Structures are given as C-alpha cells and as structure tokens.
Structure 1
Amino acid sequence: MSPMRMERVALVAPLESRREMLTEVARSAAVELDLPYEPGTGPEEIDRAADAAVVHGSVAALVGWSPTQKLSSLQEALEPHGASAVPLKRPRGVQPPTLLTGDEPARKQTPVLSRLLVDTYTTVPYADLDPARIAGVAYVVMFGMMFGDAGQGALLVVAGLLLRFLPRLQRFRRTWLFITGAGVAAVFFGFLYGEFFGPTGVLPVLWLDPLEEPIPLLVAALVLGAVLLAGSYVLGTINRVREGGWGYALYARSGLAGALLFAAIGLVAWGLLAAEPVILVVAAVVALLALVLMFIGLFAESGGGATGGLQASVELVDSVVQLGSNLVSFTRLAAFGLTHAALMMVVWQATTALWAPDWRAVAAVVVFIIGNALTFALEGLVAGIQALRLEYYELFSRIFQDEGRRFRPWNPDTGTSTPETGTGTGTGTGTGTPSLSPAERHLP
C-alpha cells in the first residue's frame, strides 16, 4: 500500500559525456529531472537538458528523483559513459513525487476503476498509504447493498466476464474485475434479500425482505458505515504518523483524537444497548479526552490567541456534528436498497397483473423486461454515484489531508528503439521548475 520509495539523486558525468548520460536516462524513464523549463518530447530535449546542467570544471550534473528499486540498473547503464546517479540527502520541506505500484507497466491488470477511485480524489502523498484496493472492495460492497438483486447482479458478472475475454472489448479489459466484483456483491445481497429480478419467489429470503423489515436493514447500514469509518480512521491515523509523527497524529481530527471520539460514540451505543452505566462513564471520559486533544490541535493550527481559541471552538463543534452526520449518511445504503426493492415490486406486480394464458402474456413479458431494464439502468447509476459519494466525503476525507504530486519520468524521444518504450518515443514529462537545495547547486 505504500508508494515506491524515492531517492534524491545527482546525475553526474564528465562534461563531454553529458549527452550520452542523458540519453541513457531518457531510455530508462527512471528519473524525474528538475529542469528550469517545461520539458519537451523531441530529440532536441537531450541538448536542452544538457545545456541546463550545472557545470563545475570538467563535470556536469543535474538533480532529480528516482525510484530506489530502479537506481542500481540506472547506475549500471551510466557506468560505461563515466557517469553515475549519486543518492543525495533529501532536502527539507520538499515532498518526493509519488509512484504507485499500479502505475508500473508490469501492473497493467490493476483494476483501473479501483485506481481511479483514489486518483480522481487526490494524488496520494508520498508519505501516505495508498488505499486503492481497499477502496475498491468497500465500493463494491456498498454498491451491492443498494443494488441487491441476484438476477441483475448476474448480468453485471456476465458483462464483466465479456470484458475480460472478448477481444473486441480489449480496450475496456482493465475494468472487468471491478464490474464483476460489483456484480458478485449484488448477487450476494440479492440472495440475502430473496430478490431475483424482483420478488419473483425464485429465491427464498435468507436474511430479510427490505420492504418487510426496513428497520433491521437501516441498522445494518449503520453498522457497515461504522466499520468503514473505523477503517478510515485507522488509515488516517497511520497516514498522520507517517506525515508528521505521533505528535501530529495525536491531535489531528483525522488521527488519534478523531478516532477516540468515534470510539466514544461506539461505547455510548454499546452502553445504551447493554444498559451498563459503567460503559457510559468510560465513553464520557474517552470523549472528553478526545475533545481536549482535538481542541489543542485546532488551537495550534489557528495560531493561538483569543481569535484562535474562538476559531478552534467553532471547528470543534463542527467536527462533532460532522462525525454524526457522516455516520448517519450511511443510512442511504438502506434507503436506496429499499428503493430498488420497491421499484422491482412495482414491476413484478404489473407483470403478474397482466399475466394470462393468452396474448396478455406477451404484454406481461414486455413489461417485465422493460421494467427490469429501466430499474437496472436507473438504480445502477444511482447506486454507483451514492457509493462514490460515501467513499469521497465520509472515508477519503479522513484518510487524506494533503495532496501529493505524481512521478513524471523524463523520457523524451532519443531517436532509437528501446526495451522500455519499444519505439523510442517517451512522454517528455518532468517538473517545470527546479527545486535544488543549496548543497546541490554547488556539486563538485
């Protein structure tokens, strides 16, 4: 789940070999160069980068970032030219770029929508964990709870398998596992609800009928939401530790302080259900500790003073209200599950009302097919959007606090075919402005 480890490197070569060094760097696509201009894509980019190098006597150097696991092979490629990639101490206040394992060419089968769930929200900061696969699982579970129908879910599974195996659909192949997973989740909840293209009676109710028992379904949605929120607090706390240490995590709303407040809510629910006053006392103590820690963190962020205290107090109240609203927001899992079941009930009742052993049977079949098609399209869209909303506003808002920047390897066209690119044409990307430390500007 961690981004690939990055090294700050200096590319050093004899002055007369700097173009050969840069050609090897371009072929490797293993370095993001810090250049004082926006890089291009043509072969002339090699000469531009060579002219931008820091020159000291007979030595030329450039700095950038490189994945640690690619550094040794890069050094081997540079050695015949008398050049090398030298690891440097990371400059303070500079965040390394992020390269995720799913971005590697060898990982092309990574479910693209699972990756996009995170990428459309933010670029994972270098210090943070990448929750893409966990987010994908959470998404399909929430989708299945709202789209619980074994028949319609089976159609999604078939669609996913067609994407996987039909050559004509190869361009969409990376989505097959995600779509199939959503279909499997819908089938699972369809069995629990006894829904197969509606309440047709084909399947028995294994757990509950949404229309007959809406309250248990609502409670189940809240429990699932509590589990997902707890997971987001765990990931958020880990990320706060990785970003700023335990001190930062202790006072953060998305760190230990927020997690303690959420735990206090759980203790209150437990104490009320079990009628245990001791648990309620413990919950009150935990909540008070969480609020104190959170206020200290907010007060420090605001800059202190009377104005800072007022701002921290308002934000503290907002945090408590927001936590409660985030938990209640998961009731939409039950609400849209009920909506799906109600629409399919209407379709089934219309079908049975029309059914007769004559020409009306054809009309009943048409109503059944069209009703299922419309419900499939409408509820599939609604469930997909609502699951995405819960991911972004309730979960990701706790996991991420900052935005990272993606690793952009410098690999312009070198004019020759390479194993990395096959055609010698690179992306020509890189950072637009240099971020050299004082020590790096005076490389010997």
Structure 2
Amino acid sequence: FPPLWFDYHAVVNGGEAVGAIRSVYDILGITIRFGMTVLGVGFVINWINLVRKRDWFTLILDKAGLLGGWIYATGAWVAFYYVGKNYKALPPANLLLLVLGIPTLALAFKGPIEFALHARHSGKTFKPGMIMDFMMEWIVEVLEIYSGYLSNTLSFMRVAGLGIAHVSLMTAFLQIARMITPEGPLSPMAVLILVLGNVLVIALEGLSAGIQSLRLNYYEFFSKYFNGTGKAYRPVSFNGRTMR
C-alpha cells in the first residue's frame, strides 16, 4: 500500500522519499513539534486550574505559570531561529535580553514575594541571610526550567526512535527471508519468517511504546498541571446492609 503521509521506509533506508519528509532529521523534527504541542496543552490546563483556584501568584511566577510558559515559548523560538539560520546565528542580543533575559530575572522576585505573602500569617521576620537563600532558590529554579523543559521536549524524540526501529527490524526480517530461501519471498519458509518477524516486532514495539507513552503522559505532560491534591473520588456505593 502506498504511504498516506510519507514513505518511512524510504526515509530510513536511504531510498527516494516522496513528500516534505525526506530525511531522519525531518522525522525527528515532527516529534519535537508534537512534544511542544503536548507541553503547551499542559501549560494551558495548568493556567485554567490556577485561574479557577484564584491562585494569581502561582499563575504568574510559577515555572509552569505564565512566566514559565513565556520562557519555554521564547526558548523554542530561539531554537527554531538557530536551526533556520543553519546553526550559524542567534537572534540579536538586545532582543534576547528583552524577551528571555528579563523574564528570567523576574523569577528572582518569586522568593521574596512569596515570603512577604506568607509572613503576614506565619509571623516570620526577614533576616539578611535570607537574601542568599532567595538567590540560591532562583538559580536552582532557572536551571530546572531550562534543563527540565529542554529534556521534556527532547524526550518526545523517542517516538521517532520507535518508528525508525520498526523500519530497521522489518527490513532485517525481509532481508533474512530473501536470503534464506532461494525460491523467493513468497516461499513457505519466507512467509513463516515474515509472519514470525511481524509478531516479534509487534510484541516488542507494543511493550516499548506502552512504556514510553506512560512516561510521556505521566512525567512530561501531567507534571505541568497535576499536583495530587483536591477532593478524593468516592463513587456511589452501598454499605451492604440488608433488610429483613
């Protein structure tokens, strides 16, 4: 059957590809864009939850809030700009300072503002040593945002890896079927090899794809908005008492 979107086998095996997808790098680019879309949906869900809770502080200054989302979107734009310039140029320094540097510096105010809000209720007093604590928290959070969101996005490249592994394994079984039987790929032995190869590949890919999908959903996606708090789910049930 002809491919509906692009010829995965031609791309991986070095054949004549048809369509806009002509190399493995194009396949990896698709998975990265897909991952950015999934993470973006996670950001939006988190913002909706915070608006419903009226938690404006977290909505603005949290790493998964508006400021964190802005940094992530700007970082993605810088990455695409760099790739579009053939890995030779970055956006102007003044523009980077405005759209990326200032929001990153704004995260430094998260600790002092949070302390001031909580100090009203807890009665804690400010001490000069807390300045260093605020600075360390800011540095750790900035490193976590940049490294964490980068790894979250690149994690979706494993989807392309599964597709490439599928093509490679099926090509290997096809070559084995052709080499082991001189009658051709339609001989009984060749058909048996192809059937067993398909069963093995489907089993291995089903296991690996299931594991990777769980990781991408629960770690990359859910971590953007799920916090494990709220009302416990109690379904409708009967207590088991009987009437006589």
- TM-score w.r.t. structure 1 length? 0.44
Q: Does 1:386 align with 2:209?
A: no
SS class of match (2:187): helix
Q: Which residue of 1 aligns with 2:43?
A: 233
Aligned-pair CA distance for 1:391: 1.2
Q: How does 1:175-324 map to 2 (within 5 A)?
A: 191-194=4-7, 208=21, 213-273=23-83, 281-298=94-111, 300=113, 305=130, 306-324=132-150
Q: Give the superposition deviation at 1:401.
A: 2.8
Aligned amino acid, residue 372 of structure 1: N
The verdict on how the C-alpha distance between 1:401 and 1:283 changes in structure 2, with shifts beyond 3 A counting, is farther
Tell me how far 1:378 sits from its aligned partner: 0.2
Shift of 1:374: 0.2
Local SS of the residue matching 1:192:
coil
Percent sequence identity is 25
Counterpart AA for 1:413: G
Q: Contact between 1:355 and 1:364, CA under 8 Å: does it hold in 2?
A: yes
The answer on whether the counterparts of 2:108 and 2:134 sit within 8 Å (CA) in structure 1 is: no
Cα gap change, 1:290 to 1:402, in 2 (>3 Å): farther
> Which runs of no fewer than 5 residues in structure 2 stay unpaired?
119-125
Q: 1:267 to 1:283 in 2, by over 3 A?
A: farther
Choose from 143, 165, 169 the match for 1:343.
169
Which AA in structure 2 matches 1:336? L
- Following the alignment from structure 1 to structure 2, what is the Cα–Cα distance between the partners of residues 344 and 396? 34
Contact 1:240 1:249 in 2 (8 A): yes
Q: 400-409 or 270-279, which moves further after superposition?
A: 270-279
Contact 1:354 1:364 in 2 (8 A): yes
Provide the secondary structure at the position in 1 that maps to 2:240: coil
Q: How many residues align?
A: 220
Deviation at 1:358, TM superposition (A): 8.2
What is the CA–CA distance in structure 1 between the aligned matches of 2:205 and 2:73, rounded to whole Å?
34
CA shift at 1:290, angstroms?
Answer: 2.7
Aligned to 1:424: none
The corresponding residue for 1:434 is none
Measured after TM superposition, the shift of residue 227 of structure 1 is 1.4
Letter in 2 for 1:254: A
Q: How does 1:16-35 map to 2 (within 5 A)?
A: none
> How far did residue 273 of structure 1 move?
5.0
Q: Which amino acid aligns with 2:188?
A: V
> Scaled by the length of structure 2, what TM-score is found?
0.75
Whole-angstrom distance in 1 between the partners of 2:185 and 2:30:
44
Give, as a single letter, the amino acid of the residue that structure 2 aligns with 1:296: F
